[in-house]
């Protein structure tokens, strides 16, 4: 499988467990790696045969802006489910972070992988 990626997609969202976090939009940063076979798109040179990263980004931006999760864990699960189910990728690796959420750190967050990742032999 090949990987199409999106790095540092920034979206403002209501997320967090503290009262002030329920009233103020915070920046969420996403890095996605999505497994797909790029050969059909390379052969046809047609976007309909490609994993359209712009469509993925637009869908995730709309979802995250409208979400109201308490935990980044919930948001991460929802994001990976959307990518796998709506864009038919074999697996997705997501790094989701909240820049500035912890004093003294650049950001905090999590990294998850979902779906079925093929082994190195392509099985």
- Could you list the active site residues? 98
CA–CA dist 12, 23 (Å, integer): 12
Cα-based distances in Å from 2 to 49, 103, 116: 14, 37, 13
**In a 3-state reduction of DSSP, which class is residue 4?**
strand
SS3 of the chain: helix, strand, coil, percent, to 5: 35, 35, 30
Distance CA 84, CA 99 (A): 25
Structure token pair of residue 47: 């976007």
């Amino acid at each position: 499988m090949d990987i199409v990626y999106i790095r540092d997609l920034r979206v403002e969202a209501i997320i967090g467990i503290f009262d002030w976090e329920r009233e103020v939009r915070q920046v969420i940063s996403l890095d996605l790696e999505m497994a797909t076979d790029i050969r059909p798109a390379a052969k046809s040179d047609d976007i309909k045969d490609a994993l359209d990263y712009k469509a993925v980004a637009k869908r995730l931006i709309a979802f995250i802006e409208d979400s109201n999760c308490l935990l980044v864990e919930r948001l991460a699960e929802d994001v990976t489910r959307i990518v796998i189910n709506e864009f038919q990728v074999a697996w997705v690796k997501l790094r989701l972070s909240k820049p500035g959420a912890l004093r003294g750190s650049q950001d905090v967050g999590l990294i998850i992988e979902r779906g079925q990742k093929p082994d190195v032999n392509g099985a």
